[in-house]
Amino acid sequence: MGPTDEEEEIIDNTSQIPVMKVFFAGEGGVGKTTFVERFVTGMFNPDMIMTIGVNHAVKTLKTSDGRDVTLQVWDLGGEERFRFVVQNYVRGSNAGAVCFDLTRMSTYINLEEWVEIIREVVPNIPIYLIGMKKDLVGDEVEIATYQDLIQKYHLEKLILTSSMTGEGVDETFLSLANHLPIEPEYFRKS
């Protein structure tokens, strides 16, 4: 199971703008879908809507050096029963985000299993560690607590975020977009 033809067609509509494939992974309920939605719509959705399988979103932005890029975002359902599709959606990504909930340490501990599965198919791409729901924990986040995964799996930096306040949302997507490859063969033609 992977992207359907219909989903691939959405990508082709973005014509001349290069497309970058990114993923969001992590345990159920950590806030992935809310985060992507916040970025795409600018709104915070307080409702709990479990992702069945995978969600797809597309948004064009500018990299720090002024290049347009369309991010094609795969937001993976965190429930254990959807684990079998993870590698199919992660494969071929240019960059990604592994996410946990700052209010639930178990979601950080269990993230190691995700990173193991993901690194099997994309051993070298940049992957950010995203700590979500910062608004619920205040400023007392002990960043040192979350360094072991970064070191063990060569992740990019930890970004603390809140889909409620918007903290870290643009930073995360800009960080991902900035990994847009320079080489033309990476650009997807329509």
Ligand X SMILES: Nc1nc2c(ncn2[C@@H]2O[C@H](COP(=O)(O)OP(=O)(O)OP(=O)(O)O)[C@@H](O)[C@H]2O)c(=O)[nH]1
Could you list the residues that contact Mg ion (CB under 5 A)? Answer: 32-33, 51
Binding mask 54-93 for ligand X (x = CB under 6 A): -----------------------xxx--------------
Count Cβ atoms below 10 Å from residue 165 Cβ, excluding itself. Answer: 12
Give strand pairing partners of 124.
Answer: none
Nearer to Mg ion, 33 or 69 (CB): 33
189: DSSP letter: P
- Does position 129 interact with ligand X (CB under 6 A)? The reply is no
Cα torsion through 59, 107, 28, 49, rounded to 10: -70
Q: Find the distance separating the first CA and the last CA of the chain, reported in whole Å.
A: 23
The pairing of strands 68-76 and 127-132 is: unpaired
Nearer to ligand X, 102 or 149 (CB): 102
Of positions 3, 28, 56, 150, contacts ligand X by CB under 6 A: 28
- Does position 112 interact with ligand X (CB under 6 A)? The reply is no
Burial of 97 (0-12, 13-18, 19+ CB in 10 A): buried
Nearest approach in angstroms of CB 136 to ligand X is 5
Of positions 70, 72, 93, 162, contacts ligand X by CB under 6 A: 162
Which residues of the shown chain bind ligand X in the complex (CB under 6 A)? Answer: 28-34, 45-51, 77-79, 132-133, 135-136, 162-164
